[in-house]
Structure 1
Amino acid sequence: MKSIIKTGISVIVAGLLISCSSDTKTAELKLASIQCGMCTSNVETAVADLEGVSKVEVDLDNKIGKVTYKASIIDLAAIEKAIAAVGYDANNTKADPEVYADLAMCCKLPEDQ
């Protein structure tokens, strides 16, 4: 009887571990409007502060971001909206125009400087 209970508990724990690990996703975001190190910092801070995000890296040279997050807590659309809310485009989500207007000059697109 004890071995049946131990086996049952082991199966349940293994199932939980598998389901939790499959919940973690990594997405690549196109960040076409980032221009400088300040932009990188602004985006990384905005995304890192989101509940469910475990890792964020922004590559300024390639204008991409990689985000690792728990899909049960947050989705990619919410991450894109958080980036847009601090003034930057993320994939097809456009930056908040009022916030973009208040960015430092170095953070604006060349045609807006």
Structure 2
Amino acid sequence: MKKIVLIVLLIMAGISVSAQKKKKNAKAVIKVDGVCMMCKKRIEKAALSTKGVKYAIWNVNTHDLSLIFDERKTNLKSIKEVVANVGHDTKEIKATKEVYDNLHPCCKYRDEEVRDDHKQKGK
């Protein structure tokens, strides 16, 4: 009886481990702050420079960064850190003041006037 219980527990543990297998082509969408095409280029370049990221497209209007990445090589937190390190905030990770201040004046998405200016240009 003890052997049967042990075998059942081992099978359940094996199933649990296999269910947590990391995906080679994981898909995710994260919000990233920015306002213009220069931001788009910077955000996408940063994301794609992360080992394991295969696809990164940022939408200027929705602020969605669509990703395909290898979970065996990277994770969302690492991608968000890389994006923040080039000056763009995500919900969880904010760019440092120093990095943000080095952005081109057109890209200062924290400035309400800059955001409003880009909204008017988009009309």
Identify whether the pair has TM-score above 0.5, normalized to the shorter chain: yes
Matched, 1:55 2:55: yes
Q: What is residue 67 of structure 1 aligned with on the other side? A: 67
Matched, 1:88 2:77: no
Structure 2: segments with no counterpart, 5+ residues = 1-20, 115-123
Q: TM-score of the superposition, structure 1-length normalised?
A: 0.75
Q: TM-score of the superposition, structure 2-length normalised?
A: 0.70
| Offset, 1:43 | 0.4
Q: What is residue 99 of structure 1 aligned with on the other side? A: 99
Query: Aligned with 2:39: secondary structure?
Result: helix
Matched, 1:29 2:30: yes
Runs of 4+ in 1 over 6 A off after TM superposition: none
The 8 Å contact of residues 24 and 69 in structure 1, kept in 2 or not, is answered as: yes
Q: Which has the larger radius of gyration?
A: 2
The 8 Å contact of residues 84 and 94 in structure 1, kept in 2 or not, is answered as: yes
Write out per-residue CA displacement over residues 62-86 of structure 1, whole angstroms, 9 at most, x where no aligned residue: 1110111000100000000000000
Structure 1: segments with no counterpart, 5+ residues = 1-18
**Distance across 2 between alignment mates of 1:43 and 1:69:** 15
Superposed CA RMSD in Å reads 1.7
Query: Aligned with 2:67: secondary structure?
Result: strand
User: Identity across aligned pairs (percent)?
Assistant: 27
Matched, 1:108 2:108: yes
**Distance across 1 between alignment mates of 2:113 and 2:47:** 25
The 8 Å contact of residues 80 and 91 in structure 1, kept in 2 or not, is answered as: no
